Amino acid sequence: MRESMQWAEKSLLERVDAHLRSKDARLPVIDQIGMQVRHLVASGDFDLREVENLINQDQALASSVLRGANSAFYRGMQRVTTVAEAVARIGARHVANLVLLETQRKNFLSSTRELRGFLQPLWLHSVACAAGSEWLARRLHVEEIADHAFLAGLLHDLGKLLLLRVLDELHAESGGELELTEPLVRELLDEFHADRGAALMEAWDLPELYSRVARQHHDESFDPDDLLLVVVRLVDRACARLGIGLTHAPELDLGGLAEARCLEASEVLLAELEVLLEDSMELAA
């Protein structure tokens, strides 16, 4: 049975890679408004009206940002009704993060029933890893990576999204005849998402630190001095412990992980991280 699975996996992977090389592949894209807002805020030299104007170019995006700013995750007592009020209440950095979430959300849609069961958990996982990675970086006062942690967490599993999107296209091209069993799809994602996600980031011309996280976040060995990678790896495992995503490992001892030891993460800190991850699901709704 395992040998049969390997042959099916190899055949499907060959079709996926051939499709990726073709001109017909509709790859996930990173939204330019989202990146413009992020770069503007990260520069530290901006007028709040610039942020507001960029977001208000897309009224659907502005509405989504307001919904996120009013969510329980930010625990505001009074509702905000404009982007300017949202920036004033939760800060430009958090608003920029909400923009990234909302512009990425549309990539996690599929017309294929067999794949929707993968995309929704993957979206929840991506949101939780984004929020958790930034929170952990700031909580540990590693400010040199804090501004990168949200995007690194959000995109670390980009390869899974890419593979699912290609499978969706292949399924449509086959007239629905391409068989996509859960074990086969899961194995394809587990085995091949890291390299393909990193390659897509390189095609997007993102800085190397993001593709490095995507490529190495499941490696058995890792550089303990690469704090961005270590933070995302630990948050990724915390999500697995809680069952946020495609993996559920409730028996996992976070405190015993090498990543937790590298960061000197106490049991109290890890418990706080788990609460934050569960709260972040409000942002994914």
pLDDT value of position 19: 86
pLDDT value of position 38: 85
Q: How confident is the model at residue 280 (pLDDT cuts 50, 70, 90)?
A: very high
pLDDT value of position 24: 67
Percent of the chain, pLDDT > 70?
Answer: 94
Give me the mean pLDDT over the 131-159 stretch. 95
The third-level CATH classification (topology) of the domain covering 2-22+109-284 is Hypothetical protein af1432 (1.10.3210)
Q: Compute the mean pLDDT over every residue in the chain, rounded to the nearest whole number.
A: 90
Q: How confident is the model at residue 142 (pLDDT cuts 50, 70, 90)?
A: very high
Q: How many CA atoms lie within 13 A of 265 on its CB side?
A: 29
Q: Give the whole-angstrom CA distance, residue 99 versus residue 68.
A: 9
Classify 142 as helix, strand or coil.
coil
pLDDT value of position 122: 97
Give me the mean pLDDT over the 121-130 stretch. 97
CB count within 10 Å of CB 176 equals 12
pLDDT value of position 253: 98
CA 20 to chain centre: 21
Give me the mean pLDDT over the 136-146 stretch. 94
pLDDT value of position 151: 94
Q: Give the whole-angstrom CA distance, residue 195 versus residue 216.
A: 9
97-130: b (≥16 Cβ within 10 Å) or e: bbbbbbbbeebbebebebbeebbebbbbbbbbbb
pLDDT value of position 3: 46
**CB neighbour list of residue 57: distance below 8 Å, 6 or more residues apart:** 33
Task: Considering only residues 16 and 156, tell me which one the structure prediction assigns the higher pLDDT.
Answer: 156
Q: How confident is the model at residue 77 (pLDDT cuts 50, 70, 90)?
A: low
Tell me: pLDDT of 199 over 70. yes
pLDDT value of position 8: 52
Q: Give the whole-angstrom CA distance, residue 160 versus residue 155.
A: 10
Give me the mean pLDDT over the 260-282 stretch. 97
pLDDT value of position 45: 80
Q: List, by residue range, all CATH 1.10.3210.10 domains of the chain.
A: 2-22+109-284
